[in-house]
């Protein structure tokens, strides 16, 4: 027969809690770092938002400026070439990639040249035939010399008017000084 006797067991549990203190400090450091990261993330979010708003504003401004320039080039072509403006537009669509410019920029080159030809006595029809050829010559000149297309087309157009070089500010100043 089994008797129910009470027995006791005593267990001495010895724990080295020096590691626990290190864990507590680590936990505190992690919490502090998390708060710092949260602050950093908030600052980064604010900075990214500011940069994004600035980029979007710049994009919108640039888009409106390009649209206005395109409209001005189209209007100028209509005035300069009259009924022949469609021919200039078709030429620009075929040649814009050779110029490395947009169709409206290419129309602008031809219009600027046509705008010089009309006062020289050319008809709008003649200007519509000559301006693209002169613009193409300016583009070839740009490729040959490494100048920008704008500068080269301007140089070729200036040559049509008998100008041999664009006066610089320094030469204009020295000319004014001599007078």
pLDDT of 178:
46
DSSP annotation of 83 reads G
Q: Can you give the pLDDT at residue 12?
A: 55
Q: Residue 174 has what pLDDT?
A: 43
Q: Are 113 and 147 in contact (CB under 8 A)?
A: no
Quick one: pLDDT at residue 67? Answer: 78
Confidence (pTM): 0.58
The residue whose two tokens read 């078709």 is: 90
| pLDDT at residue 34 in the model | 60
Q: Please, what's the b/e burial string for 149-176 (b: 16 or more CB within 10 A of its CB; e: otherwise)?
A: beebbbbbbeeeeeeeeeeeeeeeeeee
The stretches in the chain having pLDDT less than 50 are 1-3, 170-179
Q: How far apart are CA 103 and CA 88, in angstroms?
A: 10
Which pLDDT score is estimated for 84?
92
**Spatial distance between the Cα atoms of 179 and 169, rounded to a whole number of angstroms:** 16
Alpha-carbon gap, residue 157 to 164, rounded angstroms: 10
């Amino acid at each position: 027969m089994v008797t129910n006797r009470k027995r006791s067991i005593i267990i001495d549990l010895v724990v080295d809690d020096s590691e626990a203190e290190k864990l507590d400090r680590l936990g505190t450091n992690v919490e502090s770092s998390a708060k710092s990261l949260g602050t950093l993330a908030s600052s980064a979010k604010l900075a990214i938002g500011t940069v994004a708003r600035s980029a979007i504003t710049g994009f919108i401004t640039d888009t409106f400026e390009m649209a206005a320039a395109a409209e001005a080039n189209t209007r100028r072509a209509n005035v300069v070439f009259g009924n022949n403006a469609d021919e200039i537009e078709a030429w620009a669509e075929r040649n814009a990639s050779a110029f490395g410019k947009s169709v409206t920029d290419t129309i602008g080159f031809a219009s600027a040249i046509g705008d010089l030809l009309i006062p020289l006595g050319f008809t709008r029809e003649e200007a519509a035939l000559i301006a693209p050829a002169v613009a193409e010559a300016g583009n070839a000149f740009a490729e040959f010399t490494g100048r920008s297309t704008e500068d080269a087309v301007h140089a070729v157009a200036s040559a049509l008017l008998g100008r041999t070089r664009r006066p610089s500010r320094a030469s204009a100043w020295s000319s004014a000084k001599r007078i």
